[in-house]
Amino acid sequence: MRIIRDFQFVAPEDRGASAAIGNFDGVHLGHQSVIDLARQAEPEAPLGIVTFEPHPRSFFAPNAPAFRLMGRDARASRLEKLGVERLYELNFNAALAALAPEDFAQRVIADGLGLRHVIVGADFCFGKARAGTAQHLQTFGAELGFGVTIAPLMAHTDKTVSSTAIRHALSDGNPALAAEMLGHWHRIEGPVISGEQRGRELGYPTANMSIEGLHPPAFGVYAVLADVLEGPHTGSYHGVASLGVRPMFGENRPNLETFIFDFKGDLYGTPLSVGLVEHLRPEETFDNLEALIAQMDADSAQARKILEAL
């Protein structure tokens, strides 16, 4: 997959794609259906995605609470697995935000990226003040020479599949519901960072990861699937993880601490992908370390049972 970040400098071989436009946070089933439509619209054209970095919501409200389901690298990895060949990850800045809808269609889609066909969701808005609609884009496309398909919104049971609905499921401690809408386990990805090594002292060495910038799922203990993405330990493992602020030790910056079952090795600096499978219990404090260790033993046994049944 090729990644293009400036619509004003696009190589000839990166033009002419059939591309879906959106933020693709989570790359959920609704996003995947839009990608499939882009694939079907022009089977001979490169399959593309047009998205934005930073997320426009972050640009307009930089101090708002973290909301993203995945970072840019995790999103790119997921899109590549779906067969995307061109990722147009455009820099969302004041100049781009100020473009009128017709100017976005002309300067970015037609002249800049040279797209052959565009797929957008029925609720798509674009241009300054989000004044452009999917129907406006169809009109502009007919004038400028690119096709436009409007994808219907996808529903799961009685809910529209959306990044917002997935965030709510995760906040409620229901990763299984989130996974039904995502089409895959919700994963937290990033490098393993150094911690306080308390887990090692307790007999539970953990791989620690930051969740900074990401929407925090319900704090507590989870049964997880851990994928080591690089290095000599590359592979998939079962584990149990604690997500939260570690109230037992008075810390308050949330992170994810994963104990990988039956694993020995150094993972510092190694990229890890941890899929949340089931929320076992909320975060809590204990009277002493012996009680904490006993609970960790019980958590591990419960997680093993859940994961072995997958």
Per residue in 95-112, pLDDT tens?
999 999 999 999 999 999
Distances (CA, A) of 159 to 124, 155, 169, 204, 238: 18, 5, 12, 40, 31
Report domain extents, the chain: 2-156, 185-308
Predicted confidence band at 194 (pLDDT cuts at 50, 70, 90)? Answer: confident
> Looking at the whole model, is its pTM more than 0.75?
yes
Question: Does domain 2-156 correspond to CATH entry 3.40.50.620?
Answer: yes
For the cut 90, the answer to whether the pLDDT of residue 247 exceeds it is no
Strand partners, 235: 228
The arrangement of secondary structure in 185-308, i.e. its CATH architecture, is Beta Barrel (2.40)
CB atoms within 10 A of CB 150: 18
Strand partners, 223: 240, 278
The CA-based diameter of the chain, rounded to the nearest angstrom, is 71
Q: What is the pLDDT of residues 125-138, one digit of tens each?
A: 999 999 999 999 99
The stretch 67-75 carries a mean pLDDT of 96
Confidence at residue 243, expressed as pLDDT on a 0 to 100 scale: 96
d(CA 245, CA 80): 33
Q: Determine what percent of the chain is predicted with pLDDT higher than 70.
A: 95
